[in-house]
Amino acid sequence: MKSWLSPRAAELKPSATLAISAKERELKSKGIDVVGFGAGEPDFPTPADIRAAAKLSLDRGETFYTPVAGIPALKKAVCDRMNSDYGVSYKPEDIVVSCGAKHSIYNTLQALIGPGDEVIIFSPYWVSYPEMIGLAGGKTVIVPTSEENRFLPDPSTLGDYVTSATKAILINSPSNPTGMVYPPETFQAIAKTAKDKDLLIISDEIYDKLIYDGIKFTPFAAQPDMMKRTITVNGVSKTYAMTGLRIGYLGSVIPEIVTAVTDIQSQSTSNPNSTAQAAAVEALCGPQHEVEKMRLIFESRRDLMLKGVNAIPGLSMQKPSGAFYAFVNCKKMYKGPIQNSGDFARYLLEKHHVACVPGGPFGSEDHIRLSFATDEDTIAKGLDRISTACRELS
């Protein structure tokens, strides 16, 4: 029978995280008590002032098209926040607002990458990076990291992965799925490679406000002479618990990139949601105390998850310095019918009703990802079930 799908659609893999969430919802709809560690979103309500701003925007009748790249007030708010927090000086004309940080990355890759172009990413990586690079016609070049080195790339080998076809390095710090935050020396080494090899950096900084242990975050664009080579991607989803409102943005001082991304967006989604943009202005310009409140709670949950996982025989995890994920090494559980992360995740879900994401789609079959974006009682209950599951396999 004739296939109506294009090659890119036929080869596209569905999001592993969304697939787990769908299976979790299916089981819950049947009345099964499932502990969900799969979600990549805060469990807090969007702060009241942000919700009020959205309502006011609706009351003012702001329900029409906006400029494709975002309303001026939001672009200015992004610039002001970046300058206030990090001393990075973008201008409103350097900003493109899109339907989430994922959309910003997708648009960037569509603007930059063509058939045969290569993009370097570090493994473990966010599941959507290789798929989005492939959709742009490019090739993903994966640089492995080791858990022993806290999933940080080895700067001495990075240049070995660069070819004449390499166009960009895509980095994510704090990282999804590992929660690792790149130290200054790693950023410096990546910056040196980019300058030596004439490459762009796409820096996914969506978790920049979720950092623990007193670590200070610095945007990649703040590296010396790197602003002109860096496309900074961020958004309001994680920091302000606004995942469903879908507002992300990118910053670039390269006018042709900003223009190309805007034109691509104009021919696909057009402007981002007008009401959500008004809410995002309040998020960035309004009180920031809720951000710190949520960060402290996440840090406490991180500590609970770290202690609980490492107390389970056969499991282990590195201490994540940011985001809200535990990347758990479970390879000692691979025996009998369980031979990889997908098998182990299915076992946990179907037999013990714990939803997690297998590590394979992130680039590591030795791990599963547990989100601690849930309350402490749920974390404790889920870890107790996982402990029981591991004892049964021993």
Q: Are 169 and 120 in contact (CB under 8 A)?
A: yes
**Residue 54 token pair:** 């959205």
pLDDT tens, 16-29? 777 777 888 888 88
Distance, CA of 183 to CA of 195 (rounded, Å)? 19
pLDDT tens, 185-222? 999 999 999 999 999 999 999 999 999 999 999 999 99
- Cis before residue 124, ω within 30 degrees of 0? yes
CA angle 51, 62, 108 (to 5 degrees): 80
- pLDDT score at 7: 87
Distance, CA of 362 to CA of 369 (rounded, Å)? 9
pLDDT tens, 263-297? 999 999 999 999 999 999 999 999 999 999 999 99
Cβ neighbours around 211 below 10 Å, total: 21
Backbone angles phi and psi of 166, in degrees to 5: -70, 130
Q: Are 159 and 196 in contact (CB under 8 A)?
A: yes
- pLDDT score at 21: 76
- pLDDT score at 40: 87
- pLDDT score at 312: 98
- pLDDT score at 12: 85
Q: Are 71 and 219 in contact (CB under 8 A)?
A: no
- Cis before residue 47, ω within 30 degrees of 0? no
Q: Are 298 and 373 in contact (CB under 8 A)?
A: yes
Nearest to 204 by CA among 100, 79, 347: 100
Q: Going residue by residue through the chain (394 aa), what tens digit of pLDDT does each one get?
A: 778 999 888 888 877 777 777 888 888 888 999 999 998 899 999 999 999 999 999 999 999 999 999 999 999 999 999 999 999 999 999 999 999 999 999 999 999 999 999 999 999 999 999 999 999 999 999 999 999 999 999 988 999 999 999 999 999 999 999 999 999 999 999 999 999 999 999 999 999 999 999 999 999 999 999 999 999 999 999 999 999 999 999 999 999 999 999 999 999 999 999 999 999 999 999 999 999 999 999 999 999 999 999 999 999 999 999 999 999 999 999 999 999 999 999 999 999 999 999 999 999 999 999 999 999 999 999 999 999 999 999 8
Cβ neighbours around 73 below 10 Å, total: 15
